[in-house]
Structure 1
Amino acid sequence: MTPGDENDYGEPTRTDEGHRYGGTRLRLPEDDPYGGARRTARGPSRSMVTVVGVVVVLIAAIAFANRGGDDSSSGPSASTGGDKPNATSTTPTGTKPVRTTTGGIPSGFAHTRQGAESAAANFAVALGSTGMFHKDSRHDLLDTVYTTAAAAKLQAAMDQAYSSDFLARMGLDADGNAPKGDTFVSRVVPVGTTAQSYSAAKAKVAVWYLGLIGMSGTTSTDPVTSSWKTWTFDLQWTDGDWKIVDDAQQDGPAPVPGDDTAATSDEISKAIEEYGGFTYAR
């Protein structure tokens, strides 16, 4: 994730002509408190999720610790096979809910395939939060979800990526704070997970998610937008929990946008304040 990419969560390029996304028209409110400005194809929204792409370059050389062991998962396999999904492919599962936290982030995941999937989903939420835009909380997040070696290599690169210039392009001050009266939004909402590989020592888990990013406020020219991505985590079982060793992202799969009327800034700000996030268990 590099701040140079001005489309935060890799959202599709928008055009001024009728605000069409992939041929589907998006209706904006008649009286939008976002200053009345049209959503133009400006590129100041390169979010935290784009920044984390730095991980691939920085820690690709870190080898997984291999402690051996068989697949102890009681969860579903990475692939059900066949031409059609089975009847339970979209059914929520989970045999051991996460009940502990470390620095506000769920921890103590089960040493199973389901536990690895739950860890990946919760890590995506944490790394997609507004906490990544504040130096102190960003350091805490990295130390919590990455292995010690990976976090040490990432910290300086992340600080450089979240520069004051980058924060300014996001509408934030040098400390990552939004202007008074405005609400900065950065959220990752997992839609599903799949374990592409699993062993007792390591796992590769992909998280399909919806991302929200932007500034909600009466003077904002960068309203909150959504995009779809898949975030893949290489996890390692260490010190009694799952930790990230490496990660990468790719665009989509994105559904066809519906013909929904965009909310006003007041509605978005109220929703962000009223609706909290989830702890994800698989």
Structure 2
Amino acid sequence: MTPGDEHDYGEPAGTRVRLPEADPYGGARRPARSSSRSMVTVVGVVVLLIAAIAFANRGGGDSGSSTTTADADKPKTSTTAATGTKPVKSKTGGIPSGFAHTQQGAQSAAANFAVALGSTGMFQKNSRHTLVDTVYTPDAAAKLQGAMDQAYSADFLAKMGLDADGNAPKGSTFVSRVVPVGTTVQAYSDTTAKVAVWYLGLIGMSGTDSTDPVTSSWKTWTFDLRWAGNDWKIDTDTQKDGPAPVPGDEQAATSDEISKAIEEYGGFTYAR
């Protein structure tokens, strides 16, 4: 179960239950990578360092280089390159709204919708209804509300370690976050847009008694958007696993460290 998986509105998927260890979050590091990988890393760093030095020293001998040459040296923009344009100027129900009627606006909308739909608010009925009514078209929202209420049943919430109202046990912190890494427009017209969001998801219960510690996953969330009511709204959405990078060698944090991080680090309003 990862943020966003709950949007398969059939029977709720079962959650993996991990037996608690001395600390379900910490302890053992992953096995050390081979020395060959370490050598590749060192070589890569040296190559990057040499390239950086060469770049810093470039062009010192010719102060009269033309504007054309300078323009040619500028990095090319990519699908998710920053533009400096603010994504929105308002919020509805705590969710960014009023996105631009452009491809950039559609990407910003999709990224922020993924964050909202992957949040802990989806596990509580009242906030879930508000979220769905805000980000989906009226027709789509009307069809989804009942199915979502069934999916987020008391039994399903109990598997996540939550009570029937979606609350975490005292002394524990339930974590559900979506962190967009990038977006891409797969199709666009004046009234519709198909935008994919590649994201890192965090989900689990942070607490000393948790048997389902916070884990991460990589997924791609694709939204079919429609321009309705002077804003982008979701008609339909689908998810698939990956692409996932090779895990690093960082030591897993303790439950206290995860809970503190969740409390101290807020989210963002996303724009391309």
Counterpart CA distance in 2 for 1:179 and 1:248 is 31
In structure 2, do the counterparts of structure 1 residues 5 and 240 end up closer, same or farther at CA, with 3 Å as the change threshold?
same
1:32 to 23, 27, 34: 23
In structure 2, do the counterparts of structure 1 residues 260 and 133 end up closer, same or farther at CA, with 3 Å as the change threshold?
same
In structure 2, do the counterparts of structure 1 residues 95 and 34 end up closer, same or farther at CA, with 3 Å as the change threshold?
closer
Q: Which residue of 1 aligns with 2:229?
A: 239
Q: Which residue of 1 aligns with 2:181?
A: 191
Moved more, 241-250 or 93-102: 93-102
The one-character-per-residue Cα deviations of 1:9-65 (angstroms, maximum 9, x if unpaired) are xxxxx999xxxxxxxxxxxxx9626698xxxxxxxxxxxxxxxxxxxxxxxxxxxxx
The one-character-per-residue Cα deviations of 1:154-181 (angstroms, maximum 9, x if unpaired) are 0000000000000000000000000001
Query: Counterpart of 1:88 in structure 2: which amino acid?
Result: T
Q: Which residue of 2 aligns with 1:275?
A: 265
In structure 2, do the counterparts of structure 1 residues 167 and 112 end up closer, same or farther at CA, with 3 Å as the change threshold?
same
Query: Counterpart of 1:125 in structure 2: which amino acid?
Result: V
Secondary structure of the residue aligned to 1:279 is coil
Map 1:71-220 onto structure 2 (within 5 A). 87-89=76-78, 91-220=81-210
| Native 8 Å contact 1:205 1:235 kept in 2 | yes
Secondary structure of the residue aligned to 2:158 is helix
Secondary structure of the residue aligned to 1:157 is helix
Secondary structure of the residue aligned to 1:219 is coil
1:183 Cα deviation after fit: 0.1
1:99 Cα deviation after fit: 1.8
Query: Counterpart of 1:210 in structure 2: which amino acid?
Result: L
Q: Does 1:255 align with 2:245?
A: yes
Counterpart CA distance in 2 for 1:7 and 1:191 is 25
Secondary structure of the residue aligned to 2:76 is coil
Counterpart CA distance in 2 for 1:191 and 1:35 is 26
| Native 8 Å contact 1:211 1:228 kept in 2 | yes
1:264 to 246, 254, 258: 254
| Native 8 Å contact 1:34 1:217 kept in 2 | no
List alignment gaps of at least 5 residues for structure 1.
9-13, 17-29, 37-85
Computing the radius of gyration over CA atoms, which structure comes out larger, 1 or 2?
A: 2
Counterpart CA distance in 2 for 1:239 and 1:216 is 40
1:261 Cα deviation after fit: 0.3
In structure 2, do the counterparts of structure 1 residues 177 and 160 end up closer, same or farther at CA, with 3 Å as the change threshold?
same
| Native 8 Å contact 2:12 2:152 kept in 1 | no
| Native 8 Å contact 2:26 2:252 kept in 1 | no
TM-score (norm 2): 0.75
1:125 Cα deviation after fit: 0.2
Counterpart CA distance in 2 for 1:35 and 1:96 is 40
| Native 8 Å contact 1:194 1:205 kept in 2 | yes
Counterpart CA distance in 1 for 2:22 and 2:165 is 32
| Native 8 Å contact 1:35 1:219 kept in 2 | no
List alignment gaps of at least 5 residues for structure 2.
1-6, 28-74
